[in-house]
Structure 1
Amino acid sequence: MASLFIKDTGTAALATEIAEQLGTTKTEAVRRGLQCLAHHKATEQAAPTGSTVDWLRDYRARHPLPDREALKLGKAFFDSLSDEEDDLGPWLR
């Protein structure tokens, strides 16, 4: 059987306080706290290190912009947004 002896009286008192608030044992309070901390560390994203410029360069390398040639937006594209044909309407014929 494994055991954990908390030698620090402040920590033991905190465990007792939290256990009373949760309506559980000190062992369960400590277990929940450690599980919460383990989950937090596992899902924590690493904070960016270095300068902001380095972070932006790294971000841009991982998320490149689309090719400018693929984004050629001409009259046909804008006409399609308003469902207009290439004609100028009956009033300008």
Structure 2
Amino acid sequence: MPLYIKGDATARLVAELASRRGVTKQAAARMAVEAELRREAEVVSLAQRLAAWRQAHPLPPAIGETADKAFFDDLSGGL
């Protein structure tokens, strides 16, 4: 099935990649699409990155103190 590239800018980019790699325009287009698909498959979502970070850096256990106004006043020297 043929693929027609109608945009001049896209055609120039494919031609430049083909020239740099010493391959045909068809091979250059295939390499570019394959590279982009691999890159996209390797993307880790923000939720996954945050979950991994939280697992590596867990919160300390609760100490049972109530963080109310009196607690913070005591921390600041009772100002």
TM-score (norm. length: structure 2): 0.60
1:23 match: 22
Which runs of no fewer than 5 residues in structure 2 stay unpaired? 62-79
Shift of 1:59: 4.4
* Separation of aligned partners in 2, 1:23 and 1:38: 22
Which deviations, in whole Å up to 9, do the C-alpha atoms of 1:20-56 show, x marking residues without a partner? 11000001001000000000010111135xxxxxx47
Amino acid at match of 1:25: T
Amino acid at match of 1:9: D
Identity rate of aligned residues, in percent?
Answer: 27
Deviating runs (4+, > 6 A) in structure 1? none
1:52 match: none
Amino acid at match of 2:34: Q
Which runs of no fewer than 5 residues in structure 1 stay unpaired? 49-54, 69-93
* Separation of aligned partners in 1, 2:16 and 2:53: 44
1:46 match: 45
Aligned length: 56
* Separation of aligned partners in 2, 1:21 and 1:59: 40
TM-score (norm. length: structure 1): 0.51
